[in-house]
Each structure stands twice: as C-alpha cells, then as structure tokens.
Chain A
C-alpha cells in the first residue's frame, strides 16, 4: 500500500511540475500578476508531493518490503539501519528520486527565501525549475520506477553492494546531488534572464548565493567521494582521473568560474553574457555527468548498472534542456549589453583571468574524458587517456591560477597597479620561495611537490595578507586593526577562508607527491621497513561481523623501537552479495598517514601493501575549509538581503 502511495505521489508531483512550468512562465510573459503569484504555492506543493514519494521509498527500505523490486535488488534484512536507509539512494532508481527531491527543495527555497525577488523573475525561475522536474519525473515514472512490485515476494533481499556499505558513502550522493541540482537554480536564473532580456546587479546578487551554496556542497561531495576511495577502495590514492570522478569535477570547475564572474556582474555590471553562459554550462556539466554515469557509454569502476534505453532518455532530456538553453542563449544573449568598462589590471581583470584559466582546465578535463569515447565512435581507435595526460595538461594551467589567486583580491576595482599589490604581498612571496627551496633541498629530486608546497604557502599567506590589508594591520594600531578585521564583511572572510582552504588542499596533494609504498609478503613475526618505520605482522585471524566475515591482520608499526600504532587491515567477504572488500587500516597524526591493506594469503604468508602518505589528510581538510568559507560567505547579510549593504567605515579600499 505505501509503495503505491509513493508511486502516486511521484505521478502527482509530475502533474504539479507541469503546472509549475506553464502557469508562472505564461504569467510572467503576459504580465499576469495572479498567475505569477501562484508560483511559490506550486513549488511548495511540488516539494510536499516529492517528499511524500521519497518518504514512501525510505519506508519500504526500512521495513525491508521484499515485494518492492528496488528493495529486493539492493537491500537485506541483516543490514544495519543506516545502510538500509542509505540503500534507498544507493541505486539508480532511488538516487533519481533523491535527485528530484533536492530539485523540489531548491524550488521550495526559491519560493520561501525569494519573497523580495522581482515577482516576474521569481515566477520564471520557479517555472524553469518545474520544467526540469517534469523531465526527470517522466524519466523516473517511465524507465526507472522505484516502486515496481515483485510477486510472489522474494524470501530475502540481494544485499546492497558491500563497497557502498560505508558511512562516507551514505552521505556522498546527497551532498553531490545538492551540488549538481543547486546548479539547476543558477541555470533557471540564467534562463529567466534570457527570457526577460535583462541582467543587472540585482540578478548577480541573487545568483551568487546559489552558485556559492551549490559549489560548497559539490566541494564537500567530491571530497567525501575522494576520501571514501582513499580509505575504502584501498588503492592508496585520492584522485584517479577516472571518467566518473572527472564528471563531478566538470561542474565544480564551471561552478567555480561562475562564482567569480557573478561578482563582476554584481559589482561592475559587466561579463553578463559570459556569466549567463557559465550558469548554463555548470548545469549542462551536471547533466552530462548524469548521462555519462548512467548510460553505459563509458568504462569506469564507479558506473551505475547501465541501460541504453535510459541513456537515450537522459540524452533527450539533455538535448531539450541544454540544447534549448543554448538556442535561447544564441537568440537572446545579444540583448544583454554591458555597462562597465574594463582595465586589464584591476579586480575584474583578475576575475576574468580566473575564468579563462578555470575554463581552460575545464576544457582539458572535458576533452580528456570524452576523447577516448569519440575517438572510438569516429575513428574506431581504442585510446585510453590516463593520469599522465591530465596531470601534465592541468598543472601548467593550475599554476598561474594559483599565482593569480593571491594577487586578485588585493587589486581594487576599475583600475589598479600590479606593483602595489605585489608590494603588499612581498612577505607571502618570500615565504613561498623559502618553503619551496627548503622542500627541494630536503626531498631531493622531485620538483612538483616542492612547487606544490610553495604554491600552498603562497595561497594561504595571500589570503592572510588580504585580511591584514583590509583591516589596515600595517597602517594602524593592532587594536584598531583587530576591530576592523572583526567588522569586515563575512563575504571577505569567506573568500579568504575558501582560498586558504584550496592552499591546504594543494599542500596535501604536494605531500602525496612524496608518498612511498611497498608490497610485501610476510609471515607472522616477520617485518618490513618503509619510510623509516618498522612494520611487523603479528597475526592474521578470522573475525565475524553482522553480514560479513573477514580475515584481519594485526600490524605493529614501530619508530626507533617505540610503538607508533597497531594497524588492523581487513579483507571482508559478504556471503549474500558474494563479494570481498578491503578495509584499509589508517593511522593519522594529521601530518602523515600510515596505511596498510591486506591482500591474499598463500602458504602462511600474507601479502600486505604498506603506504606512507605525508600530509594526506590535508587534502580533505582543505575541502572542508573551502566549504566553510562558502558557508561563511553565504551568511553575509548581502547574500540574504537584496538591498546593497550600506558602505560602512570598515571598507578602506
């Protein structure tokens, strides 16, 4: 009964979405105030209907209703409750319901927080979000119904993929979708602007918080996924340039560019066409990722179970939304005339440079990801593009991006002197050079980690210099400067924090460039040496969990005789799913990870892979700091209030 109600709720939501598309947009085009006024109510009704459907799905998983095919295929009565719930979105059908739920949440948020938006803009935005919802509801109802029944009921579920039974992964899809779907809102703003034929500072001020929120969630989602791959897949790396990973990086890059260009729209009323294009692009990249992951056109360890029929449906949706948006862009973008004038050395000039570099990286990653597929279909050539290409092609673009990152915020709007900004950054430059040189001397030959450490210091010091400069730390008393710093707009603090977070992540990546590992076969009592530590295998024994059994090795790590830690890597086998997973054992002290993976056993010897990963946790720590910077910036009153903030005495520029 509950699953049927859920199915009905989704069908109802589809019908509401149709109204949500037609009525407000018609109202906005005709200037019919009553039709426009219906938009928030329709968005709210949509949210309630989708939430009911999602609730029914969760309920089916929690009570383990084995007449629902999605439950049979993905759940098991012996599974812990958390994974029963996360199992609801750990599969194709359920994840699509989560997708439309988040879309409905965004619509509800535009309805709720958007009361001071111009009513025509709000109506159009909600209408476009409705149009997106119609397509994805149809996709769910026609090709991926999560509430399909099986009769007679199965005796037991087939279990969730054991690799996915992990707290990190339970929250990875919701965060990632909050990011992906968040770009649906900026997309809707872009379409609304094109329909209206007008982009102004108020539009920029509205797009910024949405792109900021989506970007922060996407940052967290990608970081969580990368962290999960690091500790669960047991490969010892954090980023593999896998097509599915790249698919999540593409909207992140486009979103980061959008975030910065929207500032220019708000402050200088320039870059309007470009910003609208970026807003469309960010959502197009989100949809492209959805298509790549679910259609089976690419080969990846992460891809969902694939079905060309579903792929075709998503492709059609992609063509309608993205193709339609680009057609509208070609037709109407000419009307978005700029007002501001540009000087190459200025804050807006630096933001343009940021956009050029971010979009170049985006192009490199996009081409590298799609090239093998298109080479296959066009020329019949089998090519694989791997990490060496991505690393060597993105590094020369990332380096100037990082170099400009510290300078940009120091430049005033309109016209600036590069020399003045560099003068205020001299100590950051000196620190970066010193650290790079010391790293080079200490580590020896590899150049990239040393450059990475220098870049990290440069970015973090640059962010600190920005805050110090704004608070006038070098021009006034310490007490005065402290008070000024406290009263700086949260947007300024947020930007500095996010920039510093990227610096922390870069430091982590540079540290991983110095990682060492070894593969050894040890009998109990034997030892190996790695990175100055002595690793001794004590024993390997059997252990049992709720729905798995495992072999667990005990490895004592000693440093000059003193025990540092005892690592217990496991190889778990899940009898229901007939799968084995590796549980890497990790000991961290923030400055380095000791990481052990248990492999096969033969003739009493266990194969162990041991890693020493300097600064590894900083990669994800930095992502947390970036997202915190985004959140801080979002709490700035300018993000919530449509009226511009009064110019206080705090702004010295």
Chain B
C-alpha cells in the first residue's frame, strides 16, 4: 500500500487487475461446469465410495449388551449392510429411526456408530426408540467420523458383502430414501 510508486514498481498497480482476471476465469470455468454438470456445489460424493473403510476400533456401549465395532467387523459380513452415524442429540436421527428399525426387522445388518454422545444419553435413546443395531461403536471424540468424512449426523453408508463402500447418504433415511435408494442397492449388491 505504498503511495508514490517508483517507475520500477508501476507494474504493481496492475496487480489488482491480474487477480480480478484470474478470479473471473475461475468463475467462468465454474459456470461452464454448472452447465455441463462437471461442477456441482451441492452434491458432494464421498471419497470412500469404491474403497474399504478406514481402520478403526471403537469401544462398545456397555449398557446395551451389543458387540463393539472395528473395521475388521466390516469384512466378510456376507451380504450388503449399512453403517449409520447417529447421536441422541440429533433430531433427524429420531426421524430416520423407524426406517432403521424396519431394515433391522427385515434382517439387514445395521452397524451403528454413536457420534459425540454420552453413554447414558445414547442408552436412553435406544431404550425409548428401540435398537436396530447389530453392533455399536462409541465414537465419543468423533475421530472415526472425521476419517470417514462425515458431514454431520445422521449419515448412512451402504457397504457390499466384501466391505467396500458403495453409497453414502448425508441426512435422515426417510421412507423415500429407503424405497428408492437403499432397496435397489441391497438387491444389486446381494
């Protein structure tokens, strides 16, 4: 921010123009990408799709009498299954809970990861709304959620029988998601 530019530094006065032009070129690329579909600010695909889940080993929720969850448990399940990140403090988790219960009754394995939650609160939630989980790990510090790239709870991943992540859903599993996405995916990877 010098006043009185010396002749040698005159080019500095063009720096704002250069920055503005570079920015405009970027914005133009974004607009073109919007039209061709290569740039979409809303849909964020998971980095995990097509890969196995990152390594983790979580403690169980003692009071629930459920086995704990580690990455080894995700291999060799033998059929497609779901991994669901949830918390007792999250309102949409209550909304999606009946759908998870429905899947569990149909025999679809649902593994739960309890995110940034206190054990008594999580237990109260399961007692009040029912337990759909075959295994449950407690991710109180939220580290595993970071490794998975979780946006926020609830978030649900569908893994195939070999433990490869096939699909991610950020937000509650509504009856529509259950019918239009999860049903066909379960059949495809069966």
Contacts and interface: CB of A to CB of B under 8 A. Distances in A.
Interface string B44-82: 110100000000000000000000000000000000000
Interface stretch (A29-37, A272-280, A526-534, A615-623): A272-280
Given A326-B17, A330-B14, A377-B29, A600 B94 contact: yes
A605 B34 CA distance: 44
A291 interface: yes
A376 to B, nearest CB: 7
A326 B34 contact: no
B33 A377 contact: yes
A274 B1 contact: yes
Given A295-B31, A323-B20, A323-B24, A377 B39 contact: yes
B136 to A, nearest CB: 20
Given A326-B17, A329-B17, A333-B13, A318 B31 contact: no
B34 A308 contact: yes
Contacts of B95: 600
Interface residues of A, number: 50
B3 A274 contact: yes
A639 to B, nearest CB: 25
A600 B91 CA distance: 8
A195 to B, nearest CB: 16
A315 B29 CA distance: 11
B49 to A, nearest CB: 12
A600 B93 CA distance: 11
Contact of A326 (B16, B45, B94): B16
Given A271-B3, A329-B17, A337-B4, A382 B34 contact: no
Contacts of B47: 382
Given A296-B34, A296-B41, A323-B24, A329 B3 contact: no
Contacts of B45: 382
A464 B31 CA distance: 51
A270 B3 contact: yes
A296 to B, nearest CB: 6
B10 interface: yes
B106 to A, nearest CB: 22
Contacts of A519: 89-91
A352 B3 CA distance: 12
Interface in A589-647: 599-600, 602, 607, 609
B177 interface: no
A104 to B, nearest CB: 26
Contact of B20 (A272, A322, A333): A322
B126 interface: no
Contacts of B23: 370
A334 B39 contact: no
A384 B41 CA distance: 10
Given A271-B3, A274-B1, A308 B21 contact: no
B28 interface: yes
Q: Please indicate which of the listed interface residues B16, B28, B42, B90 has the most CB atoms of chain A within 10 Å of its own CB.
A: B16
B17 A327 contact: yes
Given A311-B34, A373-B41, A377-B33, A273 B94 contact: no
A308 B4 contact: no
A607 B39 contact: no
B152 to A, nearest CB: 11
Given A308-B31, A599-B91, A377 B26 contact: yes
Interface residues of B, number: 35
A336 B17 CA distance: 18
A94 B10 CA distance: 43
Contacts of A308: 31, 34-35
A308 B38 CA distance: 13
B6 to A, nearest CB: 10
Contacts of B14: 326-327, 330
A22 interface: no
A299 B40 CA distance: 9
A534 B91 CA distance: 22
Interface in B134-159: none
Contacts of A311: 27, 31, 34
Contacts of A333: 5, 13
Contacts of B16: 277, 280-281, 326, 329-330
Contacts of B104: none
B30 interface: yes
B127 to A, nearest CB: 12
Contact of A297 (B13, B20, B31): B31
A478 interface: no
B13 A334 contact: yes
Given A308-B31, A377-B39, A272 B94 contact: no
A298 interface: yes
B10 A334 contact: yes
Given A284-B20, A330-B16, A607 B94 contact: yes
A338 interface: yes
Interface string A321-346: 01100110110011011100000000
B28 A607 contact: no
A477 to B, nearest CB: 44
A2 interface: no
A398 interface: no
Contacts of A312: 28, 31
Contacts of B5: 273, 333-334
Interface string A371-404: 0011011100010100000000000000000000
Contacts of A280: 16
Contacts of A431: none
A326 B39 contact: no
A607 B2 CA distance: 58
A311 B31 CA distance: 7
B4 A338 contact: yes
A352 B4 contact: no
Nearest to B32: A308
Contact of B24 (A271, A319, A337): A319
Nearest to A319: B24
Contacts of B20: 284, 319, 322-323, 326
Contact of A315 (B10, B27, B35): B27
Interface of A: 270-274, 277, 280-281, 284, 291, 295-299, 308, 311-312, 315, 318-319, 322-323, 326-327, 329-330, 333-334, 336-338, 352, 355-356, 370, 373-374, 376-378, 382, 384, 519, 521, 599-600, 602, 607, 609
6 contacts: A299-B42, A308-B35, A311-B34, A322-B20, A355-B1, A373-B30
Nearest 7 A/B pairs, CB to CB: A330-B14, A326-B17, A299-B41, A338-B3, A326-B16, A330-B13, A297-B30
Interface of B: 1-5, 10, 13-14, 16-17, 20-21, 23-24, 26-31, 33-35, 39, 41-42, 44-45, 47, 89-91, 94-95, 128
Given A326-B17, A327-B14, 17 more contacts: A274-B3, A296-B41, A297-B31, A297-B41, A308-B34, A311-B27, A318-B24, A352-B1, A355-B1, A370-B23, A373-B26, A374-B26, A382-B44, A382-B45, A599-B91, A600-B95, A602-B94
